[in-house]
């Protein structure tokens, strides 16, 4: 099974691309929506939440975890890779109860696939929009700089995720806000949608961007890179049958929003309880789209 | 001196009303903008931040603190009053270095003055908009219910504070967002602006609300109640000369936003450092609108 971790339900837009590219793999998605958005939290808290979530996905039987959230990928991916990746402090030790103490773990993010796709496509000036935290982290700009001499213009777009969460993506408010942010990016030729909420605003971006400016949703490039990785590491993840499990820390939010992001009805959503700042080790309540099953 | 505590700079709209009503009093404003917004934080964290901030204001020599933020007032005021108020666990013990161990402290909020003003003015149906946390706390509805049989309709308006923080209050985006939220409030006759950012959107509210619907900015009612309280407790706060000191945890944010909220140029802003989740006990850096003075 492949784990997909997101701070909320935005990562369901990435999951959608992963499942389309790898239809016979089994996925477990963990959305920490009960503690989202992470943007206002301090860095130590984000690292702590990220550790809890990837450890839960390891416990669920996922040796490979994709961090689908751009904010977490920008702020915490290196930390997670150092802690759990090859040569990391906690290789195979993430779950004490795991008898296979030396099981290798891998964690992949979304920033590098997005940067590579942008550089492959741009004629010289790349725009990036994302959360304030993603932009202030500077991670996108750093990764882009490693790949070539492109000019990069970033802008935090703090209104866009709330617009999508209100379900207002097909409104004049959405089009005006997108237009205002885009106008500040200058003569870019490629726009990276650096937040998993923004693909739902694609129509607003298409209506706003000048002709010739490419809109880059990183999700399919993340999927292509994951697919390559699996080809290069045969046997790392056991083959599956295309199943999907969804875990979250806020079932009500998932019921309200999940389907729009995933693009299809959600399966049963398991509630991972959170208390005193820690995730429970086992799902305690199962929620079937509004109905609590004890 | 009178302390005014806010999670950021929104409370400067309340400070403005307090200084207008009490021009000879001295004020110290503490805006915790470096850790704002508080909305996404868990309750224990909000209580902890609030304790740190009011204790800092006690240290600055303010026996009386007004919590200007509606979110903090709804979530944490009772806790603060129990901890520091008359008969509280820590009356006069908030600052260990304070030799006057029995100094009485008082903490006042914005929710009850807002509820009283709404009930005094409404013909029967009160609308309240605020942050998601303010609305979900249920505190406004509870306080309104104590005062009369009015119908209350609440709506979280998560886009409005970010619109003001972007400086977009005089835009079509602001007017459309306000219109959309107001439309969901039904046939209210009084609208409580339950967030200190919203008075900057007054023009958008006026353009949107049907005739006969009163817009209620609680700030002047908070000021009137504070003035009454001071009359009833002569000598509690030493008289002053109308000075203002501003402390904050994020000078850059204050430089960008403070003046719009206060309605006049800010005085010197002192930076209160925050590290490892705690506020420093003394101002370490003084910032004069952009210029760092060491």
Sign of dihedral through CA atoms A50, A131, B131, B22? positive
Helix (H/G/I), strand (E/B), else coil: A214: strand
Q: Which residues does B contribute to its contact with A (CB < 8 Å)? A: 35-42, 158-159, 162-163, 165-166, 168, 171-173, 176-177, 180, 277
Minimum CA–CA partner of B34 in chain A: A40
Cβ atoms within 10 Å of B222's Cβ, excluding its own: 27
Pairing of β A244-248 and β A27-31? parallel
Residue of B42, B165, B172 lying closest to A176 (CB–CB): B172
Element (H, E) at A286: strand A285-288
Q: Verify whether the Cβ–Cβ distance A41 to B41 is below 8 Å.
A: yes
Minimum CA–CA partner of B43 in chain A: A276
Which residues in B lie closer than 8 A to residue A159 (C-beta atoms)? 159, 162-163, 166, 173
- The CA-CA-CA angle for residues A127, A39, A13, to 5°, reads 60
The DSSP result for B123-135, as a single string, is SSEEEEEE-HHHH
Say how far apart CA A11 and CA A70 lie, in whole Å.
9
Sign of dihedral through CA atoms B165, B171, B176, B182? positive
- List of residues 6+ apart from B76 with CB closer than 8 A: B46, B47, B50, B67
Q: Where is pLDDT greater, at A255 or A11?
A: A11
Say how far apart CA B175 and CA B180 lie, in whole Å.
9
Q: Verify whether the Cβ–Cβ distance A158 to B166 is below 8 Å.
A: yes
Q: B149 CA to chain A: closest CA distance, Å?
A: 30
pLDDT at residue B103 is higher than 70: yes
Q: Which of B181, B188, B69, B187 is nearest to B118 (CA)?
A: B188
Say how far apart CA B128 and CA B113 lie, in whole Å.
14
**pLDDT, tens digit (0-9, with 9 covering 90-100), for A160-216:** 999 999 999 999 999 999 999 999 999 999 999 999 999 999 999 999 999 999 999
Minimum CA–CA partner of A163 in chain B: B159
Tokens of B53: 């901030």
Average pLDDT over residues B230-238: 95
Q: Verify whether the Cβ–Cβ distance A40 to B36 is below 8 Å.
A: yes
Residue of B36, B41, B159 lying closest to A162 (CB–CB): B159
Q: Verify whether the Cβ–Cβ distance A42 to B277 is below 8 Å.
A: yes
Q: Is B106 exposed, middle or buried (0-12, 13-18, 19+ CB in 10 A)?
A: middle
Rounded (to 5) percent helix, strand, coil in chain A: 45, 20, 40
- List of residues 6+ apart from B166 with CB closer than 8 A: A158, A159
Which of B53, B62, B74, B195 is catalytic? The answer is B195
Which residues in A lie closer than 8 A to residue B131 (C-beta atoms)? none
Q: Report the pLDDT value the prediction gives residue B283, as an integer from 0 to 100.
A: 46
Say how far apart CA A175 and CA A152 lie, in whole Å.
23
Helix (H/G/I), strand (E/B), else coil: A192: strand
**pLDDT, tens digit (0-9, with 9 covering 90-100), for B139-197:** 999 999 999 999 999 999 999 999 999 999 999 999 999 999 999 999 999 999 999 99
Q: Report the pLDDT value the prediction gives residue A70, as an integer from 0 to 100.
A: 97
Could you list the beta-strand ranges (E) of chain B: 2-6, 27-31, 64-67, 106-108, 125-130, 151-156, 190-194, 214-216, 244-248, 269-271, 274-275, 278-279, 285-288, 291-293
Model confidence band, residue A282 (pLDDT cutoffs 50, 70, 90): low
CA distances from A89 to A81, A84, A233, B100, B177 (A): 10, 6, 22, 51, 49
Tokens of B225: 């109640």
Domains of chain A, earliest start first: 2-109+221-293 (3.40.50.1860), 111-217 (3.40.50.1860)
Which residues in B lie closer than 8 A to residue A166 (C-beta atoms)? 158-159
Element (H, E) at A153: strand A151-156
Which residues in B lie closer than 8 A to residue A257 (C-beta atoms)? none
pTM of the model: 0.87
Report chain B's mean pLDDT, rounded to a whole number: 89
CA distances from B27 to A75, B17, B239, B266 (A): 38, 12, 11, 13
Q: Verify whether the Cβ–Cβ distance B173 to A171 is below 8 Å.
A: no
- List of residues 6+ apart from A258 with CB closer than 8 A: A9, A12, A31, A246, A266, A269
**Active-site residue, A53 included:** no
**Active-site residue, A248 included:** no
Which of A62, A69, A74, A248 is catalytic? The answer is A69
Q: For a pLDDT cut of 90, what percent of chain B falls above it?
A: 76
Q: A107 CA to chain B: closest CA distance, Å?
A: 26
Q: Which residues pair with B30 in a beta bridge?
A: B5, B247
Model confidence band, residue A39 (pLDDT cutoffs 50, 70, 90): confident
């Amino acid at each position: 099974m492949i784990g997909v971790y997101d701070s909320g339900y935005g990562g369901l837009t990435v999951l959608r691309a992963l499942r389309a590219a790898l239809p016979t793999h089994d996925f477990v998605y963990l959305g920490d929506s009960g503690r989202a958005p992470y943007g206002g939290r301090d860095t130590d808290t984000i690292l702590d939440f990220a550790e809890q979530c990837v450890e839960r996905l390891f416990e669920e039987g996922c040796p490979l975890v994709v961090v689908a959230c751009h904010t977490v990928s920008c702020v915490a991916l290196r930390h997670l890779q150092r802690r759990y990746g090859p040569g990391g402090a906690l290789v195979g030790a993430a779950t004490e109860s795991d008898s296979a103490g030396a099981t290798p773990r891998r964690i992949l993010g979304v920033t590098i696939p997005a940067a590579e796709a942008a550089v492959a496509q741009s004629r010289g000036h790349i725009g990036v929009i994302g959360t304030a935290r993603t932009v202030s982290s500077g991670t996108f700009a750093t990764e882009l700089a490693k790949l070539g001499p492109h000019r990069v213009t970033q802008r935090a777009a703090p209104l866009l995720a709330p617009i999508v969460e209100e379900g207002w993506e097909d409104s004049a408010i959405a089009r005006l806000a997108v237009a205002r942010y885009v106008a500040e990016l200058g003569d870019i030729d490629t726009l990276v949608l650096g937040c998993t909420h923004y693909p739902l605003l694609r129509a607003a971006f298409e209506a706003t961007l000048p002709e010739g400016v490419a809109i880059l949703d990183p999700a399919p490039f993340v999927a292509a890179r994951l697919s390559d990785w699996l080809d290069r590491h045969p046997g790392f993840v056991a083959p599956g049958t295309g199943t999907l499990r969804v875990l979250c820390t806020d079932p009500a939010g998932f019921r309200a929003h999940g389907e729009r992001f995933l693009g299809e009805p959600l399966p049963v959503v398991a509630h991972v309880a959170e208390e005193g700042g820690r995730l429970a080790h086992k799902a305690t309540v199962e929620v079937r789209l509004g109905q609590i099953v004890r």
